[in-house]
Amino acid sequence: MTVERTKVCIIGSGPAGHTAAIYAARAELQPVMLEGWMANGIAAGGQLTTTHEVENFPGFPEGILGGEICEKFRAQSVRFGTKIYSETATRVDLSSRPFHVYTDEREVVADTIILATGAVARRLPFPGSDEGSGGFWNKGISACAVCDGAAPMFRNQPIAVIGGGDSAMEEAHFLTKYGSKVFIIHRRDELRASKIMQKRVLEHPKIEVIWDSVVEEAYGNAKGLLGGVKVKNVKTGAITDVPLAGLFFAIGHEPATAFLDGQLKLDEDKYVITAPDSTATSVPGVFAAGDVQDKKYRQAITAAGTGCMAALEVERFLEEHGTA
């Protein structure tokens, strides 16, 4: 197994990881990045690679494809000297500095670590829900209303949200600014959301809840985009056709923290806990940026901001503590 020595190892390759890499490389810390190889079922670059068009990242007034902006992130990291390996971190040893990060091919010995492994939106498997042939992912189906809800294809069209918690209520309410009607599809006869969020959506004239129901399949329209869904009532078995231009999953996210094996403090949803106004974790010298520690905003631009914070904090940490 190859052994690599570095002042900072960045695990992950989305906007948080690459922003951290750019700042660290410009500070001459010679970062090593493990960008992952289909880590969590997603290509290097993270969730942005599954987004068709990004319209809310500054600097791209005409919008940019998700895959293309990830390529630009990577090229900028490489330009300043980041060493990138297309390998997935499978385990870490955080018991003492220097830390040890392992992939199937190498061991990285690092004075500091920046975790930027992200989180993956939970999706439901049903015919038409994926990216493959006959699927409508990024063709009307999404997992981020804030990211995609303002797209022209959804304006003045019926839209649906799957979920019953606060996030689903927030996304449904947000989508009322764009859609002609917003359905909330929920498999139970009561919502899990807080009472105030329930009241907000149940009293909204544009929102209708489809109770006790699950999506059986999604189908397309003449343009090859989402045309609607077949919804099954779990109590009666009745199937209903619901024409839609958009369908948004709002059933939570899975942060990529399993490989840490309990060596960092996580919250009840397994997100890395960081100090207030900081990216510092429970282990000195280990920092976390992006969606792996942010379950509130989950945006590319906020991830990039925390990546910058992490790199600056790494630089300060190394100045104060020196390299091992």
- CA-to-CA separations, 126 to 17, 129, 216, in angstroms, rounded: 32, 6, 6
User: What letters, b where the CB count within 10 A reaches 16 and e where it falls short, cover 216-255?
Assistant: eebbbeeeeebbbbbbbeeeeeeeeebebbbbbbbbebeb
Full strand arrangement of the beta sheet holding 239-243: 213-220, 226-233, 239-243
Go through the chain and tell me how many residues it has: 324
Catalytic residues: 144, 147-148
Q: Which CA distances in Å does 245 have to 30, 153, 160, 231, 254?
A: 47, 7, 8, 15, 26
Cα dist from 98 to 6, 263, 318, whole Å: 9, 15, 12
